[in-house]
Chain A
Amino acid sequence: MREIIKKATREAYGDTLVELGKEHKEIVVLDADLAGATKSGNFKKVFPLRFFDCGIAEGNMMSVAAGLAAAGKVPFASSFAMFASGRAFEQVRNSIGYPGLHVIIGASHAGLSVGEDGATHQCLEDFALMAAIPGMTVLSPSDYYQTVNAVKAAYEMEGPVYIRLCRMANETFHNDENETFEVGKGIVLREGRDVTLVATGLLVAETLKAADLLAEEGVSARVIEMPTIKPLDLPLLQAAAKETKGLVTVEDHFAGCGMGAMIAAALAETTPARVIKVGVQDKFGQSGSPMDLFEAYGMTAPHIKEKAMLLMAE
């Protein structure tokens, strides 16, 4: 087992870029004046000639990355999730997505957990935007070690990949050094027969706590982690829909258009199930510490437990 550490997923992105860069000369890294924050700057220090700071021009950066990919490079384009998926949406769609180019977008500072910077920087719609693009793979790893594996898996894939990363340091729980990352596969973190909790990213840890709270009430909660938002691991979800009373989905994203909404929509076609979505309801974020925000927006363990109890009462 590896040591439990408290480190942000963006740190894993920067460290892994350096590791991959040593082996693969065709890897290039781009950023838009946020190299220190996205941790792409780690790569810049080691490989300055393979690093391009495009300045504060994210749309251009995405199309430049497409051109680099078309000429045989494997670009990692880095920015905050807000600008990578939001401002540069159409460049990602048309320059990268439509030609199916192998560009990996490292999008840090996603979600409410950006914290104090407030609503303009809290991207709560990147899953919706990126998953809408045909052929785009959307990854949302939850801790440092899983992110290392996710970044490596993204490099090995074909086509465009979006990796959601977070600012906040969190404790690792994927500490088994033999663990691999399978794109498109969910992970059953805890078996359970009464209800299913499905979580992604930073809120996986909170969801495990909710499962503990439910156990205290005598409720057996299955906990599924979804490190891949697209493509969804439908068989795993269908089994949960059949075998438990319903699903509570948990994500640091708008509840109406994120992972939970995609799961509910997918299950509705084959295995109708009750799905209660924990996430940011239809309002913007605000300044505050990440944990205070999760509490204020109803996304902590007691809130998750409460939603699961609603399913139990039915």
Chain B
Amino acid sequence: MLNPNLKKQLEVISTKLRMEIMNEVHAAKCGHPGGSLSIADLMTYLYFEAMDVDPSDPKKPDRDRFVLSKGHTCPALYAALAYRGFFPTQELIQLRKLGALLQGHPDMKSIPGVDMSTGSLGQGISTAVGMALAGKMDGALWDVYTVCGDGEIQEGQVWEAAMLAGHHNLEHLCVIVDNNGLQIDGAIEEVNSPYPIDKKFEAFGFYVQVIDGHNFEEIAEAINNFKANKGCPSAIIMKTVKGKGVSFMENQASWHGVAPNTEQYEAGMAELKAHLAELEN
């Protein structure tokens, strides 16, 4: 059981991250709100509970690593990093502008806390495998988390990476699939079905868990199970709602890569503010 106070704190943070995601994409007038909102709860749990990271020393050698393989949903990562203290929150509304710290996809060279540059789908998971291999060579105890989209796993490279991870029994690697069911062209099972996702990762030698990605109890339990698991990599198939938290964006493929106009932004923010007020009461 998750401590009720902690659970509430996490819910408050994830709601604030969702508000920042809205701020970011509205200010940028472009970006990817749907898949950012679907991973907001996971990002909250990773950066505020699970991962050992230090904003004052972003490159400390024994930190846990995070690779956003579905790099286009960096508004969620950036919001988490800013709230965790890696850079000022004012940077968030500069997203995607010329000369801004925050690039349209994660850039490890310039952004504190970003462990790998990603954006071209399928590659992030492979880099996470490389990091986990390095850790294994050194007998290190740090973990590597990577988040793939459920559309992203149509990329063959994801399975090349999974094969190598299974082959090397990378127990410190946790692959999380954001299974929100939608990609740009529509429902994943209508475009080119990747199902059954759990069976596929099992076949590659992973310890697989299927959870509700908006339930902190389940996220916490799955991460704890991953940390306790020995001898093979982990995959967490996280059932989520694309656009989660903003009613008109929920389960709409059309909100994959479109920013809200000001009217939509205000309507979405009103919902999130109301939810935050409820939580804080």
Q: Are B160 and A94 in contact (CB under 8 A)?
A: no
A239 within 8 A of B: no
Q: Are B116 and A50 in contact (CB under 8 A)?
A: no
Task: Choose the segment among A70-78, A180-188, A291-299 that binds chain B (4+ C-beta atoms closer than 8 Å).
Answer: A70-78
Q: Are A67 and B131 in contact (CB under 8 A)?
A: yes
List residues of chain B with CB within 8 A of the CB of A28.
134, 137
Q: Are B163 and A67 in contact (CB under 8 A)?
A: no
Residue of B nearest to A32 (CB): B160
B115 within 8 A of A: yes
Interface of B is mostly: helix
In the assembled complex, the CB of A282 is this many whole angstroms from the nearest CB of chain B, namely: 29
Q: Are A64 and B137 in contact (CB under 8 A)?
A: no
| Bound complex: CA A57 to CA B168 (Å) | 15
Considering only CB atoms and an 8 Å cut-off, how many residues of chain A contact the other chain?
29
A231 within 8 A of B: no
List residues of chain A with CB within 8 A of the CB of B127.
63-64, 66-67, 70, 95
Interface of A is mostly: helix
| Bound complex: CA A75 to CA B129 (Å) | 14
Q: Are A72 and B61 in contact (CB under 8 A)?
A: yes
A42 within 8 A of B: no
Q: Are B137 and A50 in contact (CB under 8 A)?
A: yes
Q: Are A63 and B134 in contact (CB under 8 A)?
A: no
List residues of chain B with CB within 8 A of the CB of A62.
126
Q: Are B161 and A64 in contact (CB under 8 A)?
A: yes
Q: Are A68 and B134 in contact (CB under 8 A)?
A: yes
Q: Are B161 and A99 in contact (CB under 8 A)?
A: no
Q: Are A52 and B133 in contact (CB under 8 A)?
A: yes
- Among A71, A91, A99, A100, residue most surrounded by chain B Cβ atoms (within 10 Å): A71
Q: Are A57 and B163 in contact (CB under 8 A)?
A: yes
Q: Using A49-B137, A50-B137, A99-B117 as known contacts, say yes or no to A66 and B130 having CB atoms under 8 A apart.
A: yes
B203 within 8 A of A: no
Residue A54 contacts which of B65, B135, B164 (CB distance < 8 angstroms)?
B164
A59 within 8 A of B: yes
In the assembled complex, the CB of B153 is this many whole angstroms from the nearest CB of chain A, namely: 14
Binding site for A on B (CB under 8 A): 61, 65, 67, 107-109, 115-117, 119-120, 122-124, 126-135, 137, 157, 160-161, 163-164, 168
